[in-house]
Structure 1
Amino acid sequence: MRAVPRPAILGSIAAVLFLACVAPEDRGTDATNLRDPWAIRAEPGDPALAAGKEIFASCASCHLADAGGRSDGTIPRLAGQRAEILEWRLRGLQDGSIDLPVMTPFARALTEAEIRQVSAYLASLPRPERIGSASGGVNERGAKLYHDRCRSCHSAEADAVAASNAPRLCGQHEAYLLRRLEDMASGNAGGAGAARAVDPAMEAIAIALSMEDRLRVSRYLARSECD
């Protein structure tokens, strides 16, 4: 495999990670045939995790050593994200079902083994002790909005859903969640071609939320415990 900038590879994951709920059938995959997305297919000490750590090492300058992302919203948290979700995004970039041309060459440079390795490594990382950075206190309005409008795809705990390939949102940074909601509401969810990676229903929900309610939902999720 030729050498490629590793930060760009993980950036491709970040670009399509949040709320990219594309049903499995959109990629020709029956939901009943999905592997268990909660299973990390590597045990502590497994060479696959060591290989994944090596792949990720050059990404730490942006994603931080603990893959915890940045509280200013520029970089999402990847630590503890479900391995299957990360693999699915990278494969989507490879086969074109997720259309982000600037990132496709980097994803296609990864072998299948490397996709599994870096995804398993990130999934194996403990979530940083801090909950996703958020301002203000717990807000009941944000909780109600989430449970009324989002839980059917993202689960009551916002802890990822296999059938819709919905990523884990609990504990993600408030500023990142808010930015992604605002991008979807404005039709700019990731740049050229990114609409194929976002469920139109998700865009409709983002548009229907007021600016204040997008902030409330983001704050609620950022302060949510995953376990």
Structure 2
Amino acid sequence: MLMLLTSGAPGWGAPPVTASPAPGAVLFQNLCIHCHGSKGEGNATLKAPSIAGLPDWYVVAQLQNFQFDRRGVHAADTEGQMMRAISKALTPQQIPEVASHVTQLPRVTPPPANPAVDLARGKELYEERCMECHRYNGEGELVFRSPPLVGFPDWYLTAQLRKFQRGLRGAEIGDEYGKKMILSSSYVDDEPMLQSLVAYLLTLQSTTGAKEERGGFGED
């Protein structure tokens, strides 16, 4: 019996062996949860969007955009400036690690659309100007580097369209995909049309998404 206890077998009351968290989970814990929440659900008060379930290639591209001063440079883009500062704390190796963790988080379904707006007008605009890149279901398209538009709340979608319209987002040198969005946002002629488009986007929401079609890491 003495030999059994001293030959490598665990002693009585020994704590169970637990696996260490993945590097991406640790980075998320240290840098992201304070604004985006422990589940990536976002925080409207801080104007931090839900990021849970975003495809890894998109998270990588956006962190690189912030890190290389293609996003968050404009003085009026307060939230972007904060993200730019945080992104610079990450090494090239850590960016895909944290992206891998984000994409594994279950997508958050935002509240439904405002029933008072004209959904038909929003649907028409989406099909004419947005669907070619962001797909019929709003899930985005890796080939065009077009991100999903689902999983985001109405206030965030509205704010980003306004930033593109005002040149606060997408106008920096090197942000070619952002420049496409500046052009696309110019077709949103007035506030009622903007609200109609956002309301229609909220009708496309799903909790699962289409991860099997999103592909792997992409270039910015």
TM-score by length of 2: 0.68
Partner of 1:143: 123
- Choose which of 187, 191, 208 in structure 2 pairs with 1:211: 191
Where does structure 2 lack aligned partners over 5 or more consecutive residues? Answer: 1-17, 74-80, 210-220
* Structure-2 separation of matches of 1:166 and 1:86: 12
CA contact under 8 A between 2:25 and 2:98: conserved in structure 1?
yes
- Choose which of 152, 169, 179 in structure 2 pairs with 1:200: 179
Spell out, residue by residue over 1:194-218, the C-alpha distance to the aligned partner (whole angstroms, 9 max, x if none): 8836533321221221211111111
Distance 1:134-1:194 versus aligned 2 partners, 3 A rule: farther
- Choose which of 205, 212, 219 in structure 2 pairs with 1:225: 205
Tell me which amino acid in the other structure corresponds to 1:68.
E
Deviation at 1:171, TM superposition (A): 2.6
Partner of 1:118: 98
Partner of 1:9: none
Structure possessing the higher radius of gyration over alpha carbons = 2
Residue pairs, 1:4-153, within 5 angstroms: 50-58=22-30, 59-71=32-44, 74-94=47-67, 96=68, 98-100=70-72, 106-128=86-108, 131-137=109-115, 139-153=119-133
Deviation at 1:151, TM superposition (A): 0.8
CA contact under 8 A between 2:122 and 2:200: conserved in structure 1?
yes
Stretch moving more, 96-105 or 150-159 = 96-105
* Structure-1 separation of matches of 2:121 and 2:155: 18
- Choose which of 177, 180, 183 in structure 1 pairs with 2:163: 183
CA contact under 8 A between 2:139 and 2:149: conserved in structure 1?
yes
**C-alpha RMSD of matched pairs (Å):** 3.0
Q: How many residues align?
A: 178
* Structure-1 separation of matches of 2:174 and 2:194: 19
TM-score by length of 1: 0.66
Spell out, residue by residue over 1:84-107, the C-alpha distance to the aligned partner (whole angstroms, 9 max, x if none): 11112223444x372545565643
Deviation at 1:124, TM superposition (A): 0.3
